[in-house]
Structure 1
Amino acid sequence: MSQLTGNEAVDDAIKRTLAGEPLSRAESLTLAQQPVEPLTEGADIVRSRLAGEGVSVRGLGYVTRGICSQDCGFCAYSARHDADVEQHGVIEREKLREAAKRAERKGAERFNIVSTRRGADSELRTDEWEEVLGAIETIRAETDLDVDACLGFLQDHEAEKLAAEGVQHYVHMVETSPRYFEEITSTHTFEQRRETLETARAAGIDLISGIIVGMGETPTDRVDAALELREIGIDVFSLNILSPISGTPVADEIGLEPDITPDEILKTLAIVRFIHSEIRIDTNTARAPISREEFLESGGNSIQLGDMIHYGDYPVSEA
């Protein structure tokens, strides 16, 4: 194993990572300065040795879409922005049940119930909370799907109730680094997002979290966000590439194309793999300027396709 990629910094990172030694911030930033080819090659070595070829499919079902009180500059569903996107209020559990069964027929093993609200707010929006709980119970009873949830900020009792209902993963993105977070959102803090992840973890729920790239952040921000998530201890890392939407502040600032090159996306993915060596990493390449093959050969092992997430080389039926 004296020479793996021929790049000294990358090869040293491979050896240390395979030996179970976490890379420091300085070492991670050094990787960000390396050429894309040896970096992605090295990340693929780490993935194949430590993270495997994960094969699974996850479907998505929105209990609400839009009408959010927060001002996240990248988000088309904020009530504070003027983006032209489809919105709807609370969806009945029967429709979520139907969506879950469709996902299962297409090969899904998991189903994620999503709300674009600020938080679960079970006391303020009792009807919505009851629809979520009812949908979880129905889907678990009538399908073989595992159920995940993405409902925004959680209180302790809400996390405990979701755990008791059998929710396996809680999905809650940190979006970016603590430094850049203040540039894109003023209505809540990075620490509040971290607290929700810790609340879900304390209730016994596994965590899916990650970042959005291409919204004006720096490579250092991407590294710092990945390191924060390593400290929290997540189970799945989600790397999302922004599709800027007209009417949002980020799109007004950077335009309607992601502020990141394909090589920068691949380098970010590779560095995330070195930092999170043993967990699943997913993305949505449908809107990204990289191919599915490039993603899977650069340290990733899960791809979201439309309303489905596709892990590994697994065919999804359209039937």
Structure 2
Amino acid sequence: MNWNTLAESVLNGNPINETEALSILTADDDELLPLMHAAFTIRKRYYGKLVKLNQIINTKSGYCPEDCGYCSQSSISSAPIEKYTMLTKEEIVKGAKQAHELQVGTYCIVASGRGPLPRDFETVVDAVKEIKENYPMKICACLGILNSRQAERLKEAGVERYNHNINTSEDHHSSITTTHTYNDRVATLEKVKEAGISPCSGVIVGMGETYEDLVKMAFALKALDADSIPVNFLHAIPGTPLEHLDELNPRFCLKVLALFRFVNPTKEIRISGGREVNLRSLQALGLYAANSIFVGNYLTTDGQASTADHKMLEDLGFEIEYSALPEKETC
């Protein structure tokens, strides 16, 4: 496969097909650098050398009734994590201030559970309103399954983006969780879009799926028109049903990122959870396909120090996509 020719075809408005997508995943490792160069050709057309920084605040940890096999917060996990109920509005706003100081463009408010409890939901709404008054950053909420009215209220409060990952392919979904369906996740994304909120949905790679499943995931997110696609790589946590899985290597992770860039050329592709333990010394190369990363820690696992992330971007010659807070008028 001539990867540059394929990239030029994509840039000329010709979507790749599933066979071509599969060839990205099965490419020989000797083709890795030409493949990443071709992915960068697409990424550069739409995003230049800009990188968007995202940061998570885990506002409610554990106590989740769902049985997702990868998650340390699920009802079937015995992982020794910190558990706590909903943070206060003040704590959530304080987290936004810290994110702003790190030049974060999108602040992600995440809470465990099937869906938001009424009191927890009101806390998020109030926090979002205060954050939007003080900090020029996008707000992404991730609160589980929503109804239409909840989606509308988040939009009214100032939430620009809502995350609800499909996580895996429809065919593989029942192997990962049984307490909700793939269609439950899609339905929430549709409600979010109807409310005028930008849909964020991604995947977790390395959960026993096939190459064909990965291709289906990339095309499913294209069909859903997800604006932001977080690509997570399984960080197998002791105490979870998937603790034994160790299927990934850095080279394959890079091919996955290239796959998602080729299938979804104009979309934000974010290197997300598990990048530090799976991409390891090749993390920087991932940004030749992706244009976004998380900084700081994840939900229950540690991330790379934010100073190291900023240094990585500097070494690459990339720039942070960020809008500074306007100067306040003085008397």
TM-score (norm 2): 0.85
1:272 equivalent in structure 2: 260
Shift of 1:203: 0.6
1:304 equivalent in structure 2: 294
1:102 equivalent in structure 2: 98
2:185 to 181, 189, 193: 193
Output the CA distance in 2 between the equivalents of 1:30 and 1:56.
29
Deviates more, 1:129-138 or 1:287-296: 287-296
**What is the 5 A alignment of 1:37-56?**
37-56=33-52
Output the CA distance in 1 between the equivalents of 2:216 and 2:53.
29
1:154 equivalent in structure 2: 146
Counterpart of 1:277, as a letter, is P
Matching of residue 293 in structure 1 with residue 284 in structure 2: yes
- Go from structure 1 to structure 2 and tell me whether the alpha carbon gap of 1:56 and 1:47 turns closer, same or farther (over 3 Å shift): closer
2:135 to 119, 134, 143: 143
User: What SS does the aligned partner of 1:74 have?
Assistant: coil
Q: Are the counterparts in 2 of residues 286 and 306 from structure 1 also a CA contact under 8 Å?
A: no
2:200 equivalent in structure 1: 208
Shift of 1:204: 0.4
1:4 equivalent in structure 2: none
Shift of 1:146: 2.3
1:261 equivalent in structure 2: 249
Output the CA distance in 2 between the equivalents of 1:13 and 1:210.
24
Matching of residue 220 in structure 1 with residue 202 in structure 2: no
Q: Are the counterparts in 2 of residues 51 and 277 from structure 1 also a CA contact under 8 Å?
A: no
2:126 to 121, 134, 139: 134
2:23 to 27, 30, 37: 30
Output the CA distance in 2 between the equivalents of 1:29 and 1:235.
23
Gapped runs of 5+ residues in structure 2? 298-305, 323-331
Matching of residue 174 in structure 1 with residue 166 in structure 2: yes
User: What SS does the aligned partner of 1:56 have?
Assistant: strand
* CA displacement, residues 20-49 of structure 1 (integer Å, 9 cap, x when unaligned): 111122221233232333322211111112
Output the CA distance in 1 between the equivalents of 2:238 and 2:262.
35
Shift of 1:85: 1.1
Matching of residue 86 in structure 1 with residue 99 in structure 2: no
Output the CA distance in 2 between the equivalents of 1:37 and 1:220.
23
User: What SS does the aligned partner of 2:231 have?
Assistant: strand
Divergent runs of 4+, >6 A: 308-311
Q: Are the counterparts in 2 of residues 63 and 115 from structure 1 also a CA contact under 8 Å?
A: yes
Output the CA distance in 2 between the equivalents of 1:226 and 1:177.
9
Output the CA distance in 2 between the equivalents of 1:129 and 1:223.
35
1:236 to 223, 228, 250: 228
Shift of 1:160: 0.7
Shift of 1:179: 1.2
Q: Are the counterparts in 1 of residues 151 and 195 from structure 2 also a CA contact under 8 Å?
A: yes
- The two structures, once aligned, show a CA RMSD in angstroms of 2.0
Q: Give the number of aligned pairs.
A: 300
Deviates more, 1:163-172 or 1:52-61: 52-61
Output the CA distance in 2 between the equivalents of 1:146 and 1:295.
23
Output the CA distance in 2 between the equivalents of 1:268 and 1:45.
16
User: What SS does the aligned partner of 2:8 have?
Assistant: helix
Shift of 1:315: 11
Counterpart of 2:15, as a letter, is P
Output the CA distance in 2 between the equivalents of 1:153 and 1:79.
17
Q: Are the counterparts in 2 of residues 18 and 50 from structure 1 also a CA contact under 8 Å?
A: no
User: What SS does the aligned partner of 2:57 have?
Assistant: strand
Q: Are the counterparts in 1 of residues 268 and 292 from structure 2 also a CA contact under 8 Å?
A: yes
What percentage of aligned pairs have identical amino acids?
31
